[in-house]
Amino acid sequence: MTDYKEVLIGQLSEELEVSRDKFVDGALLKDDLGFDSLDLVDVVVLIEETVGVKLTQRDFAGVKTFGQMLDLIEHKRQA
Amino acid sequence: MSAEGWNAKSRGNATGYRIFGFFLRHFGLNFAYINLAYVVLYFVLAAPAQRAALWDYYRRTWHYGRLKSAWCVYLHFFRFGQCLVDKMAITQGLSDKFEFVAEGYDDFLESLNRGSAIMIGAHVGAWETGTPFFGDYAKRMHIVMFDAEYQKIKEAIHRGAPQLPYNIIAVNEDDLGSILKISEALQHNAYVCMQGDRYVNNGRCERLDFMGREAVFPQGPFILGAKMRVPVYFYFSMREGKKYHFYFYRATVSTAGGSRACQLDLMRQYVSRLEQVLHTYPQQWFNLYRFWSDPSAAV
């Protein structure tokens, strides 16, 4: 997971103007990383471009932390 | 940026809708309008917040005198009621009682035939009156609304109201992923309609000059318009007697200065079109709350 995770964190950090060190597994997308629903549109596009994985609204149900988002990406990559 | 916005609740009375539905079915449209003239008197008295908002609108936006403003407030409530009655009549299959004309529709259809599009409307006139006019295209129409509003519609349908001829995308601020339904719909050749004039507290917003005063607009529809790489149209359906005039204005989406610049540019184009519409139809502005953010003053 490490290869793309670092690239993704770098791009998310730049896009959302959030310090890289805040992207830890337990970080809450909304409260700790300041994501709002409109950011998610960018994030999904970014994930698609960086990792080649397309995430849908259904995939995101129940995803609250950055770690859960990474698990979701990994799961979709392997599917 | 934070400001006081719309509280995401709409005023409505099920009994009132039922009574006017009865009038329409049994006595026709004109009878409903005549009764509306009396009902409106009640609302002018019983809806002080809306009355104050309209008073502010006529006195401070249009700079009308007191007498003219008072008359316009009454007419405004009446026009609002007429649009509601018209919507109800069209839902009940009385669309043949109206005439529909459209501007910019060919270009809009061309975009739809090529794929998807975003339509940004406003709380002016009565956008729903366009659905019979759109024919089969209405099946590809997805209206974005807040989940709370959607629940009300579902309850109404459950109680026997007609099914909607279009689809709903219910968004919920607590559910991060709900916004993705919009991009998914666009990927499936849908056209997605949003209102660009209602800011809800805690959402992202922009303060812009609108009709000579500062007002707060939501950024959401314009951010999506700037990012989704599909044609963006501003759509308004305005009442002219028993005729509805649909306006489809294609927006220029330029990504040259980045998405933030594009979003701001879209917002300015939208505000300019909305001003143009209001100058033609001042009584069809249906944001019946204090829309402008400048401090109150006695008027």
Strands, E assignment, B62-133: 99-103, 117-121
CB contacts, 8 Å: B181 with chain A: 57
End-to-end CA distance of chain A: 14
Domain ranges of chain B: 12-97, 99-282
Cα separation of B215 and B194, whole Å?
Answer: 18
Please provide the DSSP assignment of A6-47 as one string.
HHHHHHHHHHHT--GGG--TT-BTTTTT---HHHHHHHHHHH
Distance, C-alpha B150 to centroid of its chain: 15
Number of domains present in the structure of chain A: 1
**β-bridge partners, B141:** B191
Provide the ipTM. 0.76
What's the confidence (pLDDT) of residue B98? 92
Give the model's pLDDT for residue B2.
Answer: 38
Residue in A41, A55, A59 nearest the CB of B224: A41
Question: Are A38 and B220 in contact (CB < 8 Å)?
Answer: yes
Q: What is the pLDDT of residues B133-177, one digit of tens each?
A: 787 888 888 999 888 777 877 777 666 666 777 888 888 766 777
DSSP B169-186: EEE-TT-GGGGHHHHHHH
Contact state of B179 with A60 under an 8 Å Cβ cutoff? no
Contacts of B1 in chain A (CB under 8 A): none
The side-by-side arrangement of strands in the sheet containing B117-121 is B99-103, B243-250, B232-240, B117-121, B191-195, B141-146, B167-171
Q: What percent of chain B has pLDDT over 90?
A: 54
The stretch B20-28 carries a mean pLDDT of 89
Asked if B246 and B228 count as a contact pair (C-beta separation under 8 A), the reply is no
Residue pair B251/B232 in contact by the 8 Å Cβ criterion: yes
Mean pLDDT confidence for B198-202: 74
Query: What residues make up the domain containing A50?
Result: 2-78
Cβ neighbours of B175 in A, within 8 Å = 37, 61
Model confidence band, residue B104 (pLDDT cutoffs 50, 70, 90):
very high
- Does B184 contact A56 at a Cβ distance shorter than 8 Å? yes
Mean pLDDT of B231-246: 95
CA distance B142 to B91: 17
Low-confidence ranges of chain A (pLDDT < 50): none
Of A30, A38, A61, the CB nearest to B179: A38
Chain A residues close to B223, C-beta within 8 Å: 38, 41
- Min Cα distance B203 → chain A (Å) is 9
Closest Cα in chain B, distance from residue A20 (Å): 21
**Is the Cβ of A35 closer than 8 Å to some Cβ of chain B?**
yes
Structure tokens at B9: 């609740």
Is the pLDDT at B103 greater than 90? The verdict is: yes
- Give contacts of B170 with chain A, Cβ < 8 Å: none
* Structure-model confidence comparison of residues A11 and B132, the more confident one: A11
Give the tens place of pLDDT for each residue, B243-273: 999 999 999 988 777 778 899 999 999 999 9
pLDDT at B12: 55
Yes or no: say if A43 and A51 are a contact pair by the CB < 8 Å rule: no
Structure tokens at B244: 């509805």
Tell me, what CATH number does A19's domain have?
1.10.1200.10
